Structure 1
Amino acid sequence: MTNSRSYVLAAGGTGGHMVPAAALAAELANRGHKVSLVSDDRGVRFPGLFDGIDTHVLPAGRLGGGPLGYLRAAGRIMTGRSMALRLFKELRPAAVIGFGGYPALPTLLAAFRAGVPTVIHEQNAVLGRVNRFVAGRVSAIATSYDAVERMKPRWAPKTHLIGNPVREAVLALRDRPYPILDEEGIFRVLVTGGSQGATVLSRVVPDGLALLPVHFRRRLQVTHQARIEDIDAVRAKYQAHGIPADVSTYITDMPEALAWAHIVIARAGASTIAELTAAGRPAILVPLPSATDDHQTSNAREITNAGGARTISQRAFNATELAKQIQKLGLDAQALENAAGRAKSVGRPHAASDLADLVESIHAPTAPIKVRRAAIQGRLAHA
């Protein structure tokens, strides 16, 4: 085991940033290191992700809102940077690891000022704004995809293909077989739009499932995560169509829900894609069109090209199209199981371990780095 070191993880307050940070925190802690998290009020409150981890809240500003908004944000960022520098005197970190989001920025700026080695991890197939802002100064860049848009060619020597770390409970599904599906068995559908649900899925999915052939529709069992304002209407739709459905605002055990499902209908957030490919579950993906730089469409490309998912743009997402794509993905049990295998084929189950290897290596130049460098496409090198 390596000598115990102190590491600081800096992440924005959304699940897409916090879940991989939590996976790395667990891996580093298992290796005997001390891990601290810096985030905003939302990030430190994620239930169960950072139990036993030292957490700190620092101010951070989101850039925007005109000149006055930028000025206020800059003031909060610099205040957070000063607080992070004081925190470093106590924690003495061997490295700072940023996972994107505006709350990560002050801590990374403090690391640059203090000369602390830095790693950034990009969960999406498009380099995020904060990671793009600091990429030129960090010690190493970890990516989740072979091809990442908004990367510059000069960053290639310090860029490493890692994958997106997922929770151990999700990773454990990789060793479980795809659920048996026979011609008369229950066909289980999981619908999730992320931690807050998605209104478009609630509006379209019940009607789309109702258009499936009668003999198939009668076998459906649905677990559907919906926004609280949509939940009554969604339940009413399923009831009107005669489709058994468990509709709730929050799925408390997502790993078990994934294990249960034969197919998933979802957005294409980074954590969703990572979990689908870790578990090996075929999917119908509806990227969020308002996502920054349309990164969800880019996220969906790899699993879709592999044959593990079908992607429908939100503009084209309607009941008829959904029913058609479910049937294309595989009403036949063997075809669906093949799609599950293709989804699993693009998973990167060692992402947490590989990222921890990279983190341990950056402050010891003679130590070998046990990860692969990403292939950065020249045509996507514009910033």
Structure 2
Amino acid sequence: MSGANRHYVLAAGGTGGHLIPAFALATELDRRGHHVALITDERGAAIPGKPDFLPAHTLPAGRFGKNPLNWIKGAKAVFEGRKMALRLFESFEPSAVIGFGGYPSMPALLASTSAGIPSLVHEQNAVLGRVNRLLAGRVQAIATAYPEIKRLKPKHADKVHLVGNPVRAEVLQLREEPFPAFTEEGLLRVLITGGSQGASVLSEIVPDGLAMLPPALRSRLQVIQQCRAEDIDAVRERYRNHDIPAELGTYFENMAERLADAHLFIGRAGASTIAELTAVGRPAILIPLPIATDDHQTANARELSKSGGARSIPQPAFTAKELAKQIQALAQRPDTLGTAAHAAWNCGRPKAVKDLADLIESAGGDELMDVIRVDNTQSRGARQQSSAPQGAAKDNAQ
């Protein structure tokens, strides 16, 4: 099946959360000898990380907010985008179209379903997004990242294939590396990020929370924190006053290396963040973004929290005192962090991009390839337990 040269169209909203998995799938399909094109908006076309071989086509995509006055304008943009997508399909002749959510994916998927081209959607979050909800009845398959998906209608459940969230190759390469050694005398390396734009609440709370740790633990801290540009000077001053060494920046290019060295992650619960934490196996304290659509970050954090790989703190309860309490609970003994790391690792789905590519390759055939994980928690956990990095397995022996 993968030997045949085919054409595929990927359609994604203009944010990293939608585009990172799209870029990963494009790379895998290109490796298999297929031709791939991307449909997005102007924001998406400008996002760093797009593979050089991947042509990007920008289409108008209306937004439908709460104000009904914007709906007519949004509908006009969508139908204009649909016409442009149909013209593209006439020349590119895709075997299938897969949408990754966001309004820019809507015109392409509407065009594919009207033209009789097999279509699929991939949902990165634990709540089915608005566009994917609208199109769930039209597509042949719904690829998901979590075993439990909210806002999915029961009548569409038979379309679901659990594949996970594709992650960057440099992050996935770290999966078989052992968890960094953590001893009672060694450094405790903490990585704090707030997504692509940082998060002011982390800048306000984290330095004071770390300062409330017992002196024996606080003296061993090594902190790396991503901040908003407008916050960075104040955060630097807070760490200086607390006498805690911290490396601060508005953006870190080598995030994979930072994650590899970290003993503990503190940050938001975006889909890509959790996919990378579980791919590598890193314990986390997660503060879901309260204004996220349908509160999807709280849902994203649920599986990892239930496994013991993370602590999830609602933002209203996120205080310096609560943060210090949770860090102490995780770092009080060397084996506690290691156990949490292994739990996070067991939630990972390292074959996500391969499973997603298999699924899209099977689109249009007599039967879609079934890549769903049956009895997901037990079967995958048992398989991965035996193949875990030796350091992690050894550290986490009960």
Confirm whether residue 8 of structure 1 aligns to residue 13 of structure 2. Answer: no
Contact 2:359 2:369 in 1 (8 A): no
Alpha-carbon contact 2:358-2:369 (below 8 Å) kept: no
- CA distance in structure 2 between the partners assigned to 1:138 and 1:368 by the alignment: 15
Runs of at least 4 residues of structure 1 off by over 3 A? 366-375
Structure 2 gap ranges (5+)? 377-398
1:59 corresponding residue in structure 2: 60
SS for the counterpart of 2:354 is helix
Contact in 2 for aligned 1:120/1:140 (Cα 8 Å): yes
- TM-score, normalized by length of structure 1? 0.95
Partner of 1:178: 179
Contact residue 147 and residue 374 of structure 1 kept, 8 A: no
Give yes or no for the alignment of 1:109 onto 2:127. Answer: no
What is the distance in 2 between the residues matched to 1:51 and 1:339?
38
Task: Please report how far the alpha carbon of residue 368 of structure 1 lies from its aligned counterpart in structure 2 after TM superposition.
Answer: 4.2
SS in structure 1 of the partner of residue 143 of structure 2: strand
Find out whether 1:24 has 2:25 as its counterpart: yes
Give structure 1 stretches of 5+ with no counterpart: 376-383
Cα offset, 1:49, TM superposition: 3.2
Inter-partner Cα distance in structure 2 for 1:199 and 1:133 = 33
Shift of 1:92: 0.5
Contact 1:11/1:21, CA 8 A, preserved across alignment? yes
Deviation at 1:186, TM superposition (A): 1.6
Does the 8 Å contact 2:362/2:369 carry over to 1?
yes
Q: Which has the higher contact order (CA 8 A, sep 6+)?
A: 1
Measure the CA separation in 2 of the matches of 1:371 and 1:308: 23
**What's the C-alpha RMSD, in Å, of the aligned pairs?**
1.3
Structure 2 residue identity aligned to 1:150:
R
Matched AA of 2:31: N
Equivalent position of 1:322 in the other structure? 323
Q: Which runs of structure 2 are paired with 1:247-326 in the superposition (5 Å)? A: 247-326=248-327
1:315 and 1:159 mapped to 2: Cα distance?
34
Q: Quick one: distance in 1 between partners of 2:258 and 2:332? A: 20
CA distance in 2 between partners of 1:374 and 1:331 (Å): 34
Deviations 1:64-107 (A, max 9, x none): 25232111111111111111111111111000000001111111
Q: TM-score, normalised by structure 2?
A: 0.92
Amino acid in structure 1 at the alignment position of 2:327: I
SS in 1 for 2:24: helix
Q: Matches of 2:35 and 2:264 in 1, distance apart? A: 39
Is residue 286–residue 312 contact of structure 2 (8 Å, CA) maintained in 1? yes
What's 1:241 paired with? 242
Which residue pairs with 1:345 in the alignment?
346
Identity rate, percent:
59
TM-superposed deviation, 1:48: 2.3
Structure 1 range deviating more: 261-270 or 327-336: 327-336
Aligned partner of 1:211 in structure 2 is 212
Q: Which residue of 1 is the match for residue 35 of structure 2?
A: 34
Q: Partner amino acid for 2:184?
A: E
What is the correspondence of 1:109-258 to structure 2 with a 5 Å cutoff? Answer: 109-258=110-259
Q: Secondary structure at the match of 2:265?
A: strand
Cα drift, residue 364 of structure 1? 1.4
The alignment of Structure 1 onto Structure 2 pairs a total of residues equal to 375
Equivalences for residues 65-80 of structure 1 within 5 A: 66-80=67-81
Moved more, 37-46 or 345-354: 37-46
Q: Following TM superposition, by how much is the alpha carbon of 1:370 offset from its aligned partner in structure 2, in angstroms?
A: 3.9
Is the CA contact (8 Å cut-off) linking 1:44 and 1:55 kept in structure 2?
yes
